[in-house]
């Protein structure tokens, strides 16, 4: 009887972050900033990150102001290895989170944003309107998520398995499994 040879399984990205991986969550929303609406997205993203093994070291919310978003991202990049923004990724005139993120990033990682949009489009056609980006500032990874709590958590879930590997690569750990 011939023996079957199985090819080794392809390594899958780690689904849980190393406990040393720190994260920050930034909600960008005029209505939250003005107190007209409670921030539900930021806490939902922070909870999802904690569940995935990240240590959330900062949560903030700010208005949709380009310079303020840039300055906050720069500050958070000194505090955390991973920064998730929520809000300001649509096409409304004040949605400027992607523009602010592009300015502070050294390099963009188009595939992560594309993956979020592709996965989101399986649930809603509105995912195509998201302009969120992902990029690198120093050794920090910045990811723009949609503003709705459900959209933010689902978008994060689409790429969460890639984030620990990306952070390891940014740290110079380039050996592959």
pLDDT in tens, 114-151: 999 999 999 999 999 999 999 999 999 999 999 999 99
User: What pLDDT is recorded for position 175?
Assistant: 78
Tell whether the model's pLDDT for residue 19 goes beyond 70: no
Tell whether the model's pLDDT for residue 7 goes beyond 50: no
Q: What is the pLDDT of residues 45-95, one digit of tens each?
A: 999 999 999 999 999 999 999 999 999 999 999 999 999 999 999 999 999
CATH for the stretch 22-170? 3.40.980.10
Strand order in the sheet with 140-145: 55-62, 22-28, 82-86, 140-145, 134-137, 107-108
Number of other CB atoms surrounding residue 107 within 10 Å:
10
């Amino acid at each position: 009887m011939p023996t079957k040879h199985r090819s080794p399984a392809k390594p899958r990205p780690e689904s849980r972050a190393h406990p040393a991986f720190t994260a920050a969550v930034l909600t960008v929303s005029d209505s939250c900033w003005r107190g007209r609406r409670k921030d539900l997205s930021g806490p939902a993203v922070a909870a999802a990150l904690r569940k995935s093994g990240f240590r959330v070291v900062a949560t903030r919310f700010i208005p949709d102001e380009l310079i303020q978003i840039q300055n906050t991202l720069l500050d958070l990049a000194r505090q955390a290895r991973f920064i998730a923004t929520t809000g300001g990724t649509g096409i409304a005139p004040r949605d400027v989170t992607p523009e602010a993120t592009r300015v502070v990033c050294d390099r963009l990682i188009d595939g992560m944003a594309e993956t979020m949009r592709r996965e989101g489009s399986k649930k809603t056609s509105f995912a195509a309107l998201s302009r969120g980006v992902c990029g690198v500032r120093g050794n920090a990874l910045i990811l723009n998520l949609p503003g709705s709590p459900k959209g933010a958590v689902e978008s994060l879930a689409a790429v969460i398995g890639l984030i620990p590997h990306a952070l390891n690569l940014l740290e110079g750990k380039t050996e592959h499994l």
